Structure 1
C-alpha cells in the first residue's frame, strides 16, 4: 500500500479533547495527504506557530459567542495568511456573517453532517471559501436598508442610545425603537450589539448622515474595537 504523500499541515484548535480526536480521525481518513496538528487553544498554537511550515488551514472549534470571536481574531493576528475554518455550535446567519467579517474563510455548524466539514476543508485548502446558505440568504436584507435606517445603524455603532439618536435626528425615541426592531428583523439578529457586528461591511460601502455630525461620514474599522467586540468609546445600550 502506498504511503500518502505529505502535502502540508492542518491546525486543529479546540478545548474539547474528544472532539479534537474525532475530527483528527475523520480528516486523517478523508484528506490523508495532510497532517493534522492538535492544539487545545489559540494561544498554545500561536506560541509555536513559527515552528510549523506548509500550514494550509486552521480549524477553530470553540463554543460560539464572544470567546469564539476573540479566538478567531487571535488566530488571524497570529498569521493572517492561513485560512481559518470555524466549526461552531451556532448556526444562525448573524454568527456566520460575524465570523466571515472577522476573517474566516469558511464556517460549518456542528449541527451539519461530517461530509460538510470534509467538503469545507477541501475547499479552503484549494483556496476557495465555504459559506453556508443561511448567510447567503441573509444578504438581500442587508441591501434593503433606507437612509434613515443606515443613519441609525451608524449611530448604534458609535454607542449612541435611542434617546440620543432621536434628539439628533429630530424624531421621537419610540420611533427610533420601531426602526431598531425593523433593522433587527432585516438583519436576523436579536440585540444592538449584533447590529453593530453585522453592519461592518454595510457602512463601509458608502457614506451616510450620522447623528451628531455636520457632514456625511463613513464608519471605519477604527470605530469598532475588534479586541473587545464593542463600538469604540462605549458599548451599545441594551
Structure 2
C-alpha cells in the first residue's frame, strides 16, 4: 500500500514544492492537498488515513497555533510536520508543545526537506539545525512586550485585537468604518512597534499577556488625556 500524505498550505507554489520533496523520497506516494484548515479538517473527518500531514502555521482564518490544535483535535494520533517560515525558537517550542511531530523551516533545501519527511516517517523528532529551547527569561521579555503593546494607540489596539480574533483586513476595515489601506498601515505599525515580522508572530507574542487589562489601561489613558485637552 502506497504511503499517503496530506499537505495543508494556502500557497499553491509551496504545495507543489512540498509535493516534489515528498515524491523525491517516496515516488509512489499518494498526495492530497488542502488550502485551508477547514478543508483539511473535512478530509481528516472523512476517515481517510494519512501517514503524515505537512502543515504551514500561517493559514488564513486562523491565529497562532489554532490550526495545529484544531487538526490535532480532529485526529489526535495523526503525525503532523510543521513546515513554516517562522524560525523563532519560541514558536518552534510552542508548536512542539502543541503536539507537532517535527518542525522544519521553509527555507531549507529540497533534499533537507525530503530527509526531514523520511525522519518523521521513521518516528524521529525533526527540529531545525542549531535549534535551542528558549531560555527562562520570560518575565523580562513579557515586561518589555507589555510596554511595547502599551505604546500602541487605541485604534491600533483595536486592530490588534481583531487580528488576534483571526479577522482579515477587509473585515477589520468594515467593522472600524475605515479603508483597507488604513488597516494595512495600522498592522504594519503594530508589527514595527512589537518588533515582529508577521501577524502570526504578533498573535503568539501577545497571547502571553493580559491583553484586556492593557486595552482597559489604554482606554483610561486616552480618556484622561482627552479630559485634559
Q: Say whether 1:58 aligns with 2:35.
A: no
8 Å contact kept, 1:87–1:109: yes
SS of 1:96 mapped into structure 2: helix
| Distance in 1 between residues matched to 2:26 and 2:93, nearest whole Å | 27
SS of 1:127 mapped into structure 2: coil
Q: Which residue of 1 aligns with 2:14?
A: 19
C-alpha distance 37-52 of structure 1, shift in aligned 2 (>3 A): farther
| Distance in 2 between residues matched to 1:38 and 1:69, nearest whole Å | 20
More helix by share: 2
Compute the displacement of 1:235 (Å): 5.3
Q: Which residue of 1 aligns with 2:170?
A: none
Runs of 5+ unmatched residues, structure 1: 1-5, 163-188, 199-228
C-alpha distance 34-236 of structure 1, shift in aligned 2 (>3 A): farther
SS of 1:129 mapped into structure 2: coil
8 Å contact kept, 1:92–1:134: no
Q: Which residue of 2 aligns with 1:10?
A: 5
Per-residue Cα deviation, 1:85-115 (whole angstroms, up to 9, x for no partner): 1111111212211211111111111122122
8 Å contact kept, 1:14–1:39: yes
2:26 to 31, 50, 54: 31
| Distance in 1 between residues matched to 2:46 and 2:209, nearest whole Å | 36
Q: Which residue of 2 aligns with 1:83?
A: 79
Per-residue Cα deviation, 1:118-168 (whole angstroms, up to 9, x for no partner): 122111112221012343x235x34xx6xxx8xx58xx7xxxx89xxxxxx
Compute the displacement of 1:84 (Å): 0.8
Runs of 5+ unmatched residues, structure 2: 148-193, 216-229
Compute the displacement of 1:52 (Å): 4.3
SS of 1:28 mapped into structure 2: helix
Q: Say whether 1:70 aligns with 2:66.
A: yes
- TM-score normalised by structure 2 residue count: 0.57
| Distance in 2 between residues matched to 1:60 and 1:70, nearest whole Å | 12
* 1:75-224 mapped onto 2 (5 Å cutoff): 75-135=71-131, 137-138=132-133, 141-142=135-136, 152=139
Compute the displacement of 1:37 (Å): 0.8
Per-residue Cα deviation, 1:202-222 (whole angstroms, up to 9, x for no partner): xxxxxxxxxxxxxxxxxxxxx
- TM-score normalised by structure 1 residue count: 0.55
C-alpha distance 122-19 of structure 1, shift in aligned 2 (>3 A): same
Alignment: residue pair count: 164
Q: Which residue of 1 aligns with 2:43?
A: 48
| Distance in 1 between residues matched to 2:78 and 2:50, nearest whole Å | 7
Compute the displacement of 1:58 (Å): 0.7
